[in-house]
Chains A and B, each alone.
Chain A
Amino acid sequence: MANRTVATAQSVHGTNPQYLIEKAYRQRVYDSLYWKEHCFGLTVTGVMEKASELTSIGGCYGTNRRPTEFFCLTLKLLQLQPDRQMIDVLLDQTDFKYLRALAAMYFRLTQPPKDVYEKLEPLYGDYRKLRKRSSDGPFELTFMDEFVDSLLRENFVCFITLPHITKRMVMEDAGVLAPRISPLDEDDDDDNYSSNGENSSVHSSN
């Protein structure tokens, strides 16, 4: 019961949303202490609270593939399937960077490619530091924009095989998307890093 997807959930990419995470790693989450202790009976609000306490991102680490809290919360979100509005709010907020990262991950996993590009590219301007747990165990330093870049370009991030999205170039050629306007180009025009409608560089501390 604790591990089943919420009854009202819709299928994502053709499957149970939880199945976006591989069975092996999913099972590791179900067996982990964090899941049993903290993620039991959690609502989206609860997930928000837990995510605000996060201190790192990452997949599974160590020899026995211990899941990170970030990973557990991702699975929890997939299980709960919050609606689009909620995720948008979580993405736009800048107070909690790890929560933002979590929302970005969830967004990338569940939403169609066009929305993914449109919604996640503003995060390129967020250059805050993120602590990432490598699969061996020790931590690494990464940045929000790098994380988002990996989400948009790579197949396997944080031990999750990301669903396929069409390349940006293809979408541009098809006319679905406009070419990306980097915040830098804007900065050249403007004086300092200012928040624009589409591209906002955020550097408020966590």
Chain B
Amino acid sequence: MSKPQDTRKPTASVATSGVKVQRYFPGKAPDEHIDDLSASESEEEAAEYRSSIQTSEAATIAISDLKGKAPVTREVDKKENTSDEDSESDAETRRLLHARLRARQMAAEGNSSSNSDSDSSASSAASGLRHREAMRRPLSESSNSEATSDSEGRSTYTDSDYSGDDYAPRVLLKPMFVPKSQRLASTLPKPLNPDDTKDTENADAGEAELKKQERRIESVRLAAEEAIRARQQPEIDEADELDVDDTDDVDVEAEFEAWRLRELLRIKRDKEEKEEADIEETDRERVKNMTEEEKNLEGIERARKQREEKAQEIASQRESAATISTSEKKLSSAGTDLSDKLTQDMLEYALRQNSNRKRTGKWRGYKKEDTSSGQSLWNGGSHHHRRGRKTS
């Protein structure tokens, strides 16, 4: 079966205004929304920006998040030196920005294997960016210009004051998605310093040892039980063969008589089967030869009989249920023990369920199924009301 060409997706040749659509990854803020109304740049610049966005993604994300401004194009203009403009007042924010950026880069790296091609460039760009960040760190603020002249036109911001551990947020950060691979790295206990962790480890090890031992004991016990059982088995096998004696001609007469009896029974059985078959045959013949009217009459008769039988069954069941409850009551009337009453109620309930369930296909609702309310012995019990009545 030939699959039709995928005509739904437009191929690359179809004009899509040259925009490379970025895939959505959770944790990655979407590309900056370029709003027509609020765009301050010309279309040209916007286009330029779009073309470079994949390479400067990480930067834009971080910035846009913090700044919270929709059009980020201003900040990321490669010609401008944004850091110079923002510097002092935004030093803190920039620090936070760095922290965020690094985390995102790590995340992006973690995702790089599963990323699409469109993103791999971004992640590689991000990793490149990270290297450069590391290099730039000891540099002073004045070296921003170097960064600015970066060929890929990344946005720049100072990081001279930045120290990796400065996480104190004065601005509430947006929660960031960290992929699992990164998550564990931060939360794993550090086994590198055995001295520090020895105590806790010992405690844990002790516990683990105990558990192990317990399990071992348990398994040994189970194995012992199995072995005992297995050893007991052959005893059953061999001994009993002598119980049944299959020697013949012990008492020829008796044996013959026994056989004769069996044979007669078999003959009788065969005869009865034959007779039944004959009766069925005759019945069938008779039905075939009857007229339509007679058939109808017979059908009516049969239906009536069935209905009668059914009614009888129901009546007899009701009686049996009633008789059970009354007899039980008589038994327990002497000593009205709490447990006796309880068992009585339970027994009645069980009998009722067993008896009537077949016929009462209709679901009467939860109220009928409720066994809690009104049947408490403190409330005088409700078995008085149930006597003889057909219940659901």
Interface residues of A, Cβ cutoff 8 Å to B: 55-56, 62, 97, 124, 127-131, 137-141, 143, 145-146, 149, 168-169, 180, 182-184, 193, 201, 203-206
The distance in angstroms between the C-alpha atoms of A55 and B238, with both chains bound, is: 12
A205: B residues at CB distance < 8 A = 247-249
A56: B residues at CB distance < 8 A = 241
The distance in angstroms between the C-alpha atoms of A206 and B248, with both chains bound, is: 7
User: Which listed residue, A149, A193, A201, touches B266 by the CB 8 Å rule?
Assistant: A149
The distance in angstroms between the C-alpha atoms of A170 and B262, with both chains bound, is: 23
The distance in angstroms between the C-alpha atoms of A201 and B267, with both chains bound, is: 16
A184: B residues at CB distance < 8 A = 260, 263-264, 267
Interface string of B252-287 (1 = CB under 8 A from A): 100110111011101100100110010000000000
User: Which listed residue, A62, A129, A138, A182, touches B247 by the CB 8 Å rule?
Assistant: A129
Sampled A-B contacts (27; CB under 8 Å): A55-B241, A62-B233, A97-B248, A129-B247, A129-B248, A130-B246, A138-B240, A141-B244, A141-B245, A141-B246, A143-B258, A143-B259, A143-B262, A145-B259, A145-B263, A149-B266, A168-B270, A169-B273, A169-B274, A180-B270, A184-B267, A203-B248, A203-B255, A204-B249, A205-B248, A206-B246, A206-B248
A149: B residues at CB distance < 8 A = 266
B36: A residues at CB distance < 8 A = none
Chain B nearest CB, measured from A96 CB (Å):
12
The distance in angstroms between the C-alpha atoms of A180 and B266, with both chains bound, is: 11
Chain A nearest CB, measured from B258 CB (Å):
7
Say yes or no: A140 contacts B236, CB within 8 Å: no
B267: A residues at CB distance < 8 A = 182, 184
Verify if B243 is at the interface (C-beta below 8 Å from A).
yes
Say yes or no: A140 contacts B244, CB within 8 Å: yes
Say yes or no: B262 contacts A145, CB within 8 Å: yes
Say yes or no: A169 contacts B277, CB within 8 Å: yes
Chain B nearest CB, measured from A154 CB (Å):
13
The distance in angstroms between the C-alpha atoms of A128 and B248, with both chains bound, is: 6
**Which 6 A-B residue pairings sit nearest by Cβ, starting from the closest?**
A127-B259, A139-B244, A129-B246, A205-B248, A131-B246, A205-B249
Q: Do A62 and B263 form a contact, CB below 8 Å, given A129-B246, A131-B244, A180-B270? A: no
